[in-house]
Amino acid sequence: MKYLIALATLAGASPIYAQELTLHLPIDCELGKTCFIQHYTDRDAGPEAKDYTCGTLSYDGHKGTDFALPTHADRLKGVNVLAAAAGKVRGVRDGIPDMGLDDTPAELLDGKDCGNGVVIDHGNGWETQYCHMANGSVQVKQGDQVATGTLLGQVGYSGRTQFPHLHLSVRHDGNVVDPFANGADTCADSGLTLWDEDIPYQPTALFDLGLSDAVPQYGAIKQGLPKTEVSRDEPLVLWGFAFGGKPGDVMGFLISGPHGEVFRHDVLIDRQQAQYFRAGGLKAPLGGWPSGRYTGLVTLTRDGKVLDRRPTQTEIR
C-alpha cells in the first residue's frame, strides 16, 4: 500500500507535460446537480491557496480534485467511482470504516489519510489515485488491467475527510498535476486540460435546501433531511446548504404562499467557508397559515451576479 500513502511533490508552477493522458469523469453523477467539485488542486506554492482560476476553491497543499456529494443520504444511495483512464491497478486498500476524520480512531488513520482507495498506473509516468471510497466497495485488485470507465468502487466517507466525496489525484513522475491546467502557471485559460470533455467551473452552489417548521441542526442537514411537513400553527423556515462561500456573498430567501409573498430576507456571508448553511422564516400568524402550496426560493449572489437559484415546495393543510 505504499503507493496509496506516499506523498507526491507539489510544484506551484510545474512543467507542462506532453498530453499523454486523457481523463474521463471518475464519478457516476451529474456535475452541478447530483455532485459538485468542492476543491481543486492548490496552485499556490506558498502558504496561501488558489484553484486554477485563482479562485478560492482549494486549501493549502491540496493535491487533487474533490467531487463532493451533497449529503450522506446521497452517499448511502451508492455512487460509483470509475477509472478515469485505462491502466494497471498498482495498489488498493479497503476495510477503513466510513466514519470520517472526527469519528475514526487515530490509529486507523495513521498513514492512511486516503482511506479506502485505488492507484492506477497509466504508463509513461502517469498515475491516478482515488480516495475516501466506501468500506467494502473496492471492486479491483492489484495487477488488474482496467479500461476507462471500469467500476472501481463507490464514493464513501473513509480516511481523513469531513464530507462524502471522491478525491482524485493525478501525478506524473511523482509530481502532482492539476488536470484542469496541465502545467500552466497563470490563471488564464491555458487549454491544457486533461479532461475529455468540458467541465465548467462552478465557484459556489447550493447542495440542498428545504422548508421546515424550525431551523434544522447543521449535522442533520449534512446527513440529508427528508421532506418536512409544516402544520398551520408552526413556524415556516426556509434553509439553504451551500459550498464555496466568500465574504460578501449573499444568500437570499423568499417564501411565497397561496396569497403571495410571505417572507423575504438576505443574509450576508461574512467569511470564507467550504460548506455552510443559513436559514430564515416566520412564526405562524394568528389563526395559522392559510392552507395551500408554499414555495421557497434560495438564491446565491456574488458581486451582484446570481450564481445559483433553486426552489422547493411544501403543502400546508
CATH code at 257?
Answer: 2.60.40.2550
| 15 and 183 Cβ atoms separated by less than 8 Å | yes
Residue where one domain finishes, among candidates 176, 192, 220:
176
In this prediction, residue 186 has a pLDDT band, given cuts at 50, 70 and 90, of low
Are 170 and 221 within one domain?
no
Do the domain assignments include residue 60? Answer: yes
| 23 and 55 Cβ atoms separated by less than 8 Å | no
Is pLDDT at 1 greater than 50 in this prediction? no
pLDDT given for residue 11 in this prediction: 39
Only one residue has cell 505504499, namely 2
Is pLDDT at 44 greater than 90 in this prediction? no
Do the domain assignments include residue 183? Answer: no
Is pLDDT at 4 greater than 70 in this prediction? no
Are 172 and 27 within one domain?
yes
In this prediction, residue 18 has a pLDDT band, given cuts at 50, 70 and 90, of low
Are 171 and 209 within one domain?
no
| Each residue's pLDDT tens digit, 65-119 | 999 999 999 999 999 999 999 999 999 999 999 999 999 999 989 999 999 999 9
Are 156 and 295 within one domain?
no
Are 219 and 141 within one domain?
no
In 3D space, the residue among 44, 54, 47, 55 whose CA is nearest the CA of residue 12 turns out to be 44
Do the domain assignments include residue 278? Answer: yes
Task: Give the type of residue at 140.
Answer: V
Residue 112: phi and psi, rounded to 5, are -130, 40
pLDDT given for residue 155 in this prediction: 98
pLDDT given for residue 191 in this prediction: 64
Do the domain assignments include residue 300? Answer: yes
Are 162 and 105 within one domain?
yes
Residue where one domain finishes, among candidates 126, 156, 176:
176
Do the domain assignments include residue 193? Answer: no
Are 275 and 220 within one domain?
yes
Are 170 and 215 within one domain?
no
* Domain, as residue range, for 282: 205-316
Report the C-alpha gap between 9 and 172 in whole angstroms: 10
pLDDT given for residue 183 in this prediction: 67
- For residue 67, the number of C-alpha atoms closer than 13 Å in the C-beta half-sphere is 29
In this prediction, residue 192 has a pLDDT band, given cuts at 50, 70 and 90, of confident
Only one residue has cell 418536512, namely 228
| 31 and 95 Cβ atoms separated by less than 8 Å | no
Do the domain assignments include residue 196? Answer: no
Q: Higher-confidence residue: 10 or 298? A: 298
Do the domain assignments include residue 198? Answer: no
Question: What's the CATH number where 54 sits?
Answer: 2.70.70.10
pLDDT given for residue 46 in this prediction: 85
Is pLDDT at 167 greater than 70 in this prediction? yes
Are 229 and 160 within one domain?
no
pLDDT given for residue 127 in this prediction: 98
| Each residue's pLDDT tens digit, 208-253 | 999 999 999 999 999 999 888 899 999 999 999 999 999 999 999 9
| Each residue's pLDDT tens digit, 248-278 | 999 999 999 999 999 999 999 999 999 999 9
Instruction: Count Cβ atoms below 10 Å from residue 234 Cβ, excluding itself.
Output: 17
Q: What is the dihedral of CA 217, 220, 224, 230, to 10 degrees?
A: -50
Are 172 and 209 within one domain?
no
Are 127 and 223 within one domain?
no
Q: Higher-confidence residue: 16 or 195? A: 195
Count of structural domains, the chain: 2
Do the domain assignments include residue 238? Answer: yes
Are 268 and 141 within one domain?
no
